[in-house]
Amino acid sequence: MPYSQKHQAKSRAFAEKLAMETVCVDCGAQPVEWHHVEPKNGRWNEVSFLIARGAPVARIETELARCVPVCRACHMLRDGRRSDKPCAACDGPVSDNRRRGMCESCYRKWLRSHPPETRDL
């Protein structure tokens, strides 16, 4: 689905202008990412992918209509990649919710103390 360099320049200019005018709907921060309210399978629906490939502005606008602008931190909270809960082992902050509820340091210690054959992943 590659487009011409002319389309790529238009797509990037549109995205840059939009990024400067848009703030996170949750906290008002910038820069923003585009969170799909009802995600579809396939990378070709990602706004950043469409911009990088130089998709026509009309196609990008269609995809943006399915999204809400959120900053990186709020996007991770919405997707479940970040949690406000403290580490289950040390009560420190957890930046990635995929580590059994532990911070990276505690998770690495847990991995070293549990051989692969005994892990219940």
74-89 confidence digits (pLDDT tens): 888 887 667 677 887 8
What's the mean pLDDT in 63-67?
90
Name which of 32, 61, 36, 58 is nearest 46 in CA terms.
36
Residue 45 has pLDDT above 90, yes or no: no
d(CA 104, CA 38): 30
CA distances from 96 to 66, 79, 88 (A): 26, 11, 13
Q: Where are the domains of the chain?
A: 5-79, 83-121
Whole-structure pTM value: 0.61
What's the mean pLDDT in 80-101?
72
pLDDT above 90 covers a percentage of the chain that reads 18
Q: What are phi and psi of 91, to 5 degrees?
A: 65, 15
* Pairwise pLDDT comparison (120 vs 73), residue with the higher score: 73
Angle at 72 between CA 71 and CA 74, to 5 degrees: 70
* pLDDT confidence of residue 1: 45
